Structure formats: C-alpha cells, structure tokens
C-alpha cells in the first residue's frame, strides 16, 4: 500500500490535541511545506499519553514522502507555520536535495524491474 502525504498528515493529526491548518486534510488539498524548526510547536500540541517518538516517526514519514519532496523541489516553494501562513522560501540546498531524492526514487523501481526480469 502506498501512503500519500494526506495519509501521513492524518497520522500526525491523530497524535495532536488540535489539528494544525498546515497539514493536508485529504488527497487533493495543497501540500504545504513545514517551517524549519516546527518540532517544538508540534510537540506542544502532543496529546496526553502520546509518545514523542510516535510524533517523530509520523513527522518523518510525512516529510520524507515523495509528494512532500516533490512539493519541496518546486521553484519558489514556500515553508509554512502551523496556521498555514507562508513564512520562508525553501532554501536552494533543500530544493536541490528534494529533487535528487525524487529522481532517486524514480530510478529505483526501474532498477528493481530490471533485476526481476534478469532473474526470470
């Protein structure tokens, strides 16, 4: 099963006492990139009894999804605060890194198909 950024956002929201506007609610909603350093703000919203490690895993899954990387790789992409307000441009370093990550993920399935065909 492929997980979309919207599915990862749902997992994140389930750990929080109030849903931040910055997170996608459903497939098709705009994917807003998170502001650098947003961890403390998200941690402050952690539900009682929820583990910070679970929040860290959910945040990592969201920010390392192909859809998130694709949004980050766009020219003039912006990062957003919890309320969904644009606060800063994505750095060229992060944009380039995201582009490389997307390209690497696209190459990986092709290489796996080649290995499968060679083994057949």
Angle 29-31-23 (CA atoms, 0-180°, nearest 5)?
A: 85
Tens of pLDDT, residue by residue over 35-91, are 999 999 999 999 999 999 999 999 999 999 999 999 999 999 999 999 999 999 999
pTM of the model: 0.83
Count CB atoms within 10 A of the CB of residue 120: 5
- Is the CA virtual torsion 117, 118, 119, 120 positive or negative? positive
Identify the residue with better confidence: 95 or 106.
95
Per-residue buried b or exposed e for 60-86, using 16+ beta carbons within 10 Å of the residue's own CB: ebbbebbbbbbbbbeeebebbbbeeee
* Fold assignment, 5-119: Fertility Inhibition Protein O; Chain: A; Domain 1 (1.10.1710)
- The residues spanned by each domain of the chain are 5-119
The closest of 58, 61, 78, 70 to 104, measured between CA atoms, is: 70
């Amino acid at each position: 099963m492929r997980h979309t950024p919207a599915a990862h956002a749902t997992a994140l929201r389930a750990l929080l006492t109030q849903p931040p506007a910055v997170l996608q609610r459903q497939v098709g909603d705009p994917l807003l990139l998170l502001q650098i350093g947003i961890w403390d703000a998200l941690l402050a919203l952690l539900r009682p009894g929820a583990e910070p490690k679970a929040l860290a895993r959910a945040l990592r899954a969201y920010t390392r999804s192909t859809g998130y990387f694709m949004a980050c790789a766009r020219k003039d992409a912006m990062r957003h605060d919890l309320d969904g307000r644009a606060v800063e441009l994505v750095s060229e370093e992060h944009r380039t890194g995201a582009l490389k990550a997307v390209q690497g993920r696209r190459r990986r399935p092709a290489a796996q198909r080649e290995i499968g065909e060679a083994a057949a």
